[in-house]
């Protein structure tokens, strides 16, 4: 479907690809569109919902400034998926040992690899130099978490918690896929929070002129702008590496549980919380995608549903009005707290029928009923992407 709503009450328009927009999210979108450095317009994807400062599901093009809170604290969070040479009929009838093998290989929640990194030393060295340069100029980052100098390496190849997951899925041809969702772990969170705070301090008395203090920004040419660009770039590389290393560990674990297999599609590895330099509407701009993926013409991407719903491998159509973007998932309908109050474990059991996964109160905030209908979200972005594969999970690992 084309753009459903255009809001014109701010400096630039807000173009929205759905009618399902929470009033608070609408206020956040208008607040962003009031900022003086927004280029052309703000685009809101079909999964749009309330975030911290900036709306999740927003694509924000800026000239000469970046909003650290719009990029967020899980810098580089995104998806990775590979297709295996296996068919559904080659999977064991009991998938619980498969889930256990994945959970044993990849630490989840607050857990991490103990004693030493769970990835090759060369991978750690490749990232280490960039981090040293960042904390050399901003040693305060190291004070935000105990033992961060070793923890960041031990968290490489780990899942985290919240809405992050690892899944074994089947597509419409009964081919087996591995799909995962994670980001830059604790070190990305620290870098994000540090520069969000620094942006507020740098704005000083001008912070009061913003519609929301979480929209504090760093201007190009200012003291800390280049440092943030370097730090966010490093965190995005870390997140990409984290997903790649997790996938390696998962495939090794599956190799001990399943019949021999090969990879039949090159891995799709895409960010959905990040900033990049791109050209749109005859200008070179910083594009912040907060809960959105790039969907340039012909580009492959991943749009997951909830832990009981379908997910999609998509090919972008390069739609200019969305800044070549599409949604990053279904989008939350209920906050985590509201989901826990609304649903009980028996609801989770019913909504994840047929999926080998946790079904306890500890993951109740991730119940499918807390999310928008992924089919509706996909219908609203038919102008943005075409569906290449439809996936349904049979195993889901959560933190």
- The Cα-based distances of 32 to 42, 59, 112, 273, 332 in angstroms read 8, 10, 37, 16, 20
Tokens of 378: 């996909």
Does the annotation flag 166 for ligand binding?
yes
Question: How far, in Å, CA of 352 to CA of 334, rounded?
Answer: 18
Does the annotation flag 311 for ligand binding?
yes
Chain centroid to CA 182: how far? Answer: 7
Question: How far, in Å, CA of 161 to CA of 363, rounded?
Answer: 9
Does the annotation flag 328 for ligand binding?
yes
Q: Which residues contact 393 (CB under 8 A, 6 or more apart)?
A: 167, 168, 169, 179, 307, 308, 311, 355, 357
- The Cα-based distances of 368 to 216, 364, 378 in angstroms read 34, 9, 16
Secondary structure (3-state) at 30: helix
Does the annotation flag 167 for ligand binding?
yes
Does the annotation flag 181 for ligand binding?
yes
Does the annotation flag 92 for ligand binding?
no
Q: Are strands 42-49 and 14-16 parallel, antiparallel or unpaired?
A: parallel
Does the annotation flag 163 for ligand binding?
yes
Q: How many CB atoms lie under 10 A from the CB of residue 73?
A: 21
Does the annotation flag 343 for ligand binding?
no
Question: How far, in Å, CA of 360 to CA of 371, rounded?
Answer: 18
Does the annotation flag 164 for ligand binding?
yes
Catalytic residue numbers, as ranges: 328
Question: How far, in Å, CA of 56 to CA of 187, rounded?
Answer: 21
Q: What is the DSSP letter of 206?
A: G
Does the annotation flag 22 for ligand binding?
no
Does the annotation flag 16 for ligand binding?
no
Does the annotation flag 113 for ligand binding?
no
Does the annotation flag 380 for ligand binding?
no
Q: Are strands 292-294 and 283-290 parallel, antiparallel or unpaired?
A: unpaired
Does the annotation flag 273 for ligand binding?
yes
Q: Which residues are known binding-site members for Mn(2+)?
A: 74, 164, 181, 272
Q: Which residues are known binding-site members for GMP?
A: 163-167, 272-273, 304-307, 311, 328-331, 398
Q: Which residues are known binding-site members?
A: 74, 163-167, 181, 272-273, 304-307, 311, 328-331, 398
């Amino acid at each position: 479907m084309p753009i459903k709503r255009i809001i014109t009450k701010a400096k630039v328009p807000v173009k929205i690809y759905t009618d399902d927009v929470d009033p608070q999210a609408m206020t956040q979108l208008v607040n962003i569109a009031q900022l003086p450095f927004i280029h052309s317009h703000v685009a809101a994807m079909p999964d749009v919902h309330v975030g911290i400062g900036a709306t999740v599901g927003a694509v924000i093009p800026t000239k000469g400034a970046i909003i650290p809170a719009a990029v967020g604290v899980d810098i580089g969070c995104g998806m990775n998926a590979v297709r295996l040479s296996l068919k559904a009929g080659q999977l064991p009838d009991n998938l619980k040992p498969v889930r256990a093998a994945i959970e044993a290989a990849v630490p989840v929640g607050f857990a991490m690899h103990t004693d030493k990194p769970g990835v090759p030393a060369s991978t750690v060295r490749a990232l280490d130099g960039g981090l040293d340069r960042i904390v050399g100029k901003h040693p305060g980052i190291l004070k935000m978490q105990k033992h961060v100098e070793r923890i960041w390496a031990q968290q490489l190849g780990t899942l985290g918690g919240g809405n992050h997951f690892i899944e074994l899925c089947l597509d419409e041809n009964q081919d087996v896929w591995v799909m995962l969702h994670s980001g830059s772990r604790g070190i990305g969170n620290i870098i994000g929070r540090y520069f969000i705070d620094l942006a507020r301090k740098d704005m000083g008395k001008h912070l009061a002129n913003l519609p929301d203090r979480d929209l504090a920004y760093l201007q190009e040419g200012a003291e800390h702008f280049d440092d943030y660009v370097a730090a966010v770039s490093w965190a995005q590389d870390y997140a990409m590496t984290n997903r790649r290393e997790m996938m390696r560990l998962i495939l090794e674990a599956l190799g001990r549980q399943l019949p021999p297999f090969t990879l039949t599609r090159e891995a799709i590895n895409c960010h959905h919380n990040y900033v990049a330099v791109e050209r749109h509407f005859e200008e070179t701009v910083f594009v912040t995608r907060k809960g959105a993926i790039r969907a340039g013409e012909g580009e492959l991407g991943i749009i997951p549903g909830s832990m009981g719903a379908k997910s999609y491998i998509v090919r972008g159509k390069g739609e200019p009005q969305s800044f070549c973007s599409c949604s990053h998932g279904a989008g939350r309908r209920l906050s985590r707290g509201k989901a826990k109050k609304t649903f009980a474990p028996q609801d989770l059991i019913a909504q994840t029928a047929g999926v080998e996964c946790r079904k306890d109160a500890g993951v109740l905030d991730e119940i499918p009923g807390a999310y928008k209908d992924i089919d509706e979200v996909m219908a609203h972005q038919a102008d943005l992407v075409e569906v290449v594969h439809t996936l349904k999970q049979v195993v889901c690992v959560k933190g």
